Amino acid sequence: MAAAYTIFGLNLVFCKDIANSESISPYVLFTFRALGASALFWLLSLLSPKEKIDRGDLLKMAAASFVGLFVPQMTFLIAMTMTSAIDTAIIGTLGPIFTMIFAFIFLKEPITGKKAGGVALSFAGIIFLIFNSIHQGGAATTSPAGVLLLLVNSLSFSLYLGLFRPLISKYSVVTFMKWCFLFSLLLSLPISLKGLIITDYASIPVQVRWEIGYLVFFATFVAYFLIPYGQKWIRPTLVSMYSYLQPIVTTIVSIWVGLDSLSWQKILASALVVGGVILVSRSRSANS
């Protein structure tokens, strides 16, 4: 999970750059992600043991694809063109809170004092970090539609973590994800087909092409291989807590390239985040 969300942290920087370039629409970009990941998972499945899917589970996988892949990824990519970096980061901190609530409702995962305290501690650390390090990027201002899309993003992925863990645990990662990404690809084609045809691919800057490649391979195929694997071993609330690594990674990258500087505020914020994750992981209901 730490590796997956570190990848997402770098991806946040690249997605903002892709959005700022205005060379490719969010719909086309999502289809690239779904097509690339679908092809890679299906190829990988040829090298994996064949797995029979129970009757009715394909429909559940289609629902998981819609709630956990299509809606979160699509809303995020569109929101990147409508929100500033700081607002994107702030709204993203709500994910673990939503996940804790959904896990309580659907999986009867108790909300212990340690768990609630850990979420609150990390939440405080991330908010402190955001206001001391993350700079503007993406849209100059945030629109109400952008805020709504980011809320839908957090709610949808949190619902996926809380609702579909039994299904994810039932099948291998490759089997589960090859079907989920195929369903996402089929969902995206009706709304991206026109964009796929009219996009001027030759005009896309070389740097943006590399960033799209990273988005497809690492932030989609690799990350979404790691996440369901991690879900088999740890419960939804702890899974979502690792999303707090994203702003930390973004800040480290910003410092590395000279866009930010190290300060005691950033060190304290990071310590609060890590402390919160440790507290949640020590909760009696955090592990499977």
> Which has the higher per-residue pLDDT, 267 or 131?
267
Instruction: For residues 91 and 81, give the distance between their C-alpha atoms in angstroms, rounded to a whole number.
Output: 15
Model confidence pLDDT, tens digit, residues 164-207: 999 999 999 999 999 999 999 999 999 999 999 999 999 999 99
Quickly count helices (H) and strands (E) in the chain: 15, 0
Residue 138, strand partner residues: 84
Neighbouring C-alpha atoms within 13 Å toward the C-beta of 201:
7
Cα dihedral 161, 166, 170, 176, rounded to 10, equals -30
Q: What is the pLDDT of residue 274?
A: 84
Reduced to 3 DSSP states, what percent helix, strand and coil does the chain have, rounded to the nearest 5?
80, 0, 20
Average pLDDT over residues 219-225: 96
Instruction: For residues 249 and 9, give the distance between their C-alpha atoms in angstroms, rounded to a whole number.
Output: 5
> Which has the higher per-residue pLDDT, 1 or 90?
1
Q: What is the pLDDT of residue 288?
A: 47
Instruction: For residues 69 and 221, give the distance between their C-alpha atoms in angstroms, rounded to a whole number.
Output: 12
Instruction: For residues 253 and 266, give the distance between their C-alpha atoms in angstroms, rounded to a whole number.
Output: 13
Mean pLDDT score across all residues of the chain: 87
The helix (run of H) or strand (run of E) holding residue 122 is: helix 113-133
Average pLDDT over residues 59-88: 89
Average pLDDT over residues 133-140: 57
Task: Choose among 18, 72, 52, 63: nearest CA to 227.
Answer: 72
Residue 286 lies in a domain: no
Q: How far is CA 271 from CA 35, 72, 134, in A?
A: 38, 28, 17
> Which has the higher per-residue pLDDT, 58 or 139?
58
Model confidence pLDDT, tens digit, residues 235-284: 888 888 888 888 788 778 777 867 567 778 878 888 888 888 888 887 76
Residue 54 lies in a domain: yes
- Give the chain's domain count: 1
Query: What domain range includes position 211?
Result: 2-281
Residue 288 lies in a domain: no
Q: What is the pLDDT of residue 140?
A: 56
The token duo for 234 is 């740890």
Q: How confident is the model at residue 218 (pLDDT cuts 50, 70, 90)?
A: very high
| DSSP assignment string, 151-220 | HHHHHHHHHHHHHSHHHHHHS-HHHHHHHHHHHHHHHHHHHHHHHHHH--GGGS-HHHHHHHHHHHIIII
